[in-house]
Each structure stands twice: as structure tokens, then as C-alpha cells.
Chain A
Amino acid sequence: NAGVTQTPKFQVLKTGQSMTLQCAQDMNHEYMSWYRQDPGMGLRLIHYSVGAGITDQGEVPNGYNVSRSTTEDFPLRLLSAAPSQTSVYFCASSYLTGGANVLTFGAGSRLTVL
């Protein structure tokens, strides 16, 4: 089982560039989400989706877009990268259980914005 696959693992961008972080899961999970993790800040939810065609904002959505055209894929787009978006990004997925979701995380994508 591949689980949750994120690409790329590492990326360096210049301010103003755009890019897409890819996330794919093969577990038929309804719920998918993107977090960023910064030192001292813990995991912060960027966007999430409870199924194909449905997305919603998390705690820190500004500067990011998502779409969910299939159950498997949940890409995160940075529209115009800023140094404040330098972070480690994690994609995670789970079944929807009405309050007992166990998340499976991807290995993370380290992004540096110069």
C-alpha cells in the first residue's frame, strides 16, 4: 500500500512564483487535508475536503488554493509564493467517521521561498 504520497519532497521557489504540491491517496478516504508545520506553531490546517467536489478553508487558508476533482487527489496550489510560506507541508487523509477520524499523513514537502 502506498498510503498518502506527496510530491515534491523538497522545493525552492523565488518570491512571486507559483507551484502545486501534489497529494494522492489510495485508501479511498473521503477526508483529505493540508497542514503546514512551523517551529513552535504546531500543525495548522490550511484547507480540507470531505469528498470529491467539496473543499473548505482551515485555520490558515490565505495564499493557497485547493481542488478535489477525484477522491484520490488533493493538490495544494501556492498562487504567488511569499517567504512566509516557507514551511513543511503535510497532506493527510482519513475515513469520515463522525468524530473518530484517524489521519494517515504523507511524508511531507519542505518548501523554501527566497
Chain B
Amino acid sequence: RKEVEQDPGPFNVPEGATVAFNCTYSNSASQSFFWYRQDCRKEPKLLMSVYSSGNEDGRFTAQLNRASQYISLLIRDSKLSDSATYLCVVNNRDDKIIFGKGTRLHILP
């Protein structure tokens, strides 16, 4: 089993719709979790951290399920500008940082 797995997509979603995708991780001792966003031909940038209690930042909601070892990202009222690749990132206690391969999202006008 890969350490961090994501559905590569692409997810083709009409503007204004809600979209969600998950990321699973294999190390039950993983310490912290993040979603990064990467635009085409650009560097990855932090979108949001994922807290145990779940957290929201505007239209974005991230959740962590430690029992089933997955994190999720929900985007409400999607905008054309949300089109990007979303990378799931897991940090272990030894500062090892593991990236998923990313989920591509296309918002359709």
C-alpha cells in the first residue's frame, strides 16, 4: 500500500457545484496533515492544514478521520479559479513529509 494515495481524477465539475475528494494514508502514527494546491506549471502552495476536529476556511472544509486513516477536502460553490491539482500531504513525527500524487480538478463554466 502506498503511503499516501489520492484519486488522480480529473474531476470535471460545473461551476457552482460542490466537490469532495479524499486521501488515504498508511502510517497510523502520522502526525499532521495538509492540503496543498498546485496550479499548472506553478509551485505547490499551502491551501489549509487539517485538524482533528475538522476545519473550514471560506468555501473549503477539511476533515480528518484517524480511525479510517483518510483526510478529505470539500469545496462548496466552486469557482473557475478553483481549477488546479490538490495535493494531500502527511507529516510524520520524524519530520518526514509525504506527498500524494495529487487530484486534478477542472471547474467547467
Contacts and interface: CB of A to CB of B under 8 A. Distances in A.
A54 interface: no
Given A42-B99, A42-B101, A101 B91 contact: yes
Contact of B95 (A31, A41, A108): A31
B99 A96 contact: no
Contact of A108 (B43, B46, B92, B102): B43
B26 to A, nearest CB: 15
A105 interface: yes
Interface in A41-86: 41-43, 45, 50
Classify the secondary structure of A's interface with B: loop
Contact of A101 (B41, B97, B99, B100): B97
Contacts of B43: 90, 105-108
A19 interface: no
Nearest to B89: A103
A41 to B, nearest CB: 7
A102 B46 contact: yes
Interface in A99-114: 99-103, 105-108
B18 interface: no
B100 A102 contact: no
Most A CB within 10 A of own CB, among B34, B44, B89: B44
Contact of A107 (B32, B42, B97): B42
Contact of B91 (A90, A99, A107): A99
23 contacts: A31-B95, A33-B97, A35-B99, A40-B8, A40-B101, A42-B99, A42-B102, A43-B99, A50-B95, A97-B95, A98-B31, A98-B95, A99-B91, A99-B94, A99-B95, A101-B95, A102-B34, A103-B46, A103-B89, A105-B45, A107-B43, A108-B41, A108-B42
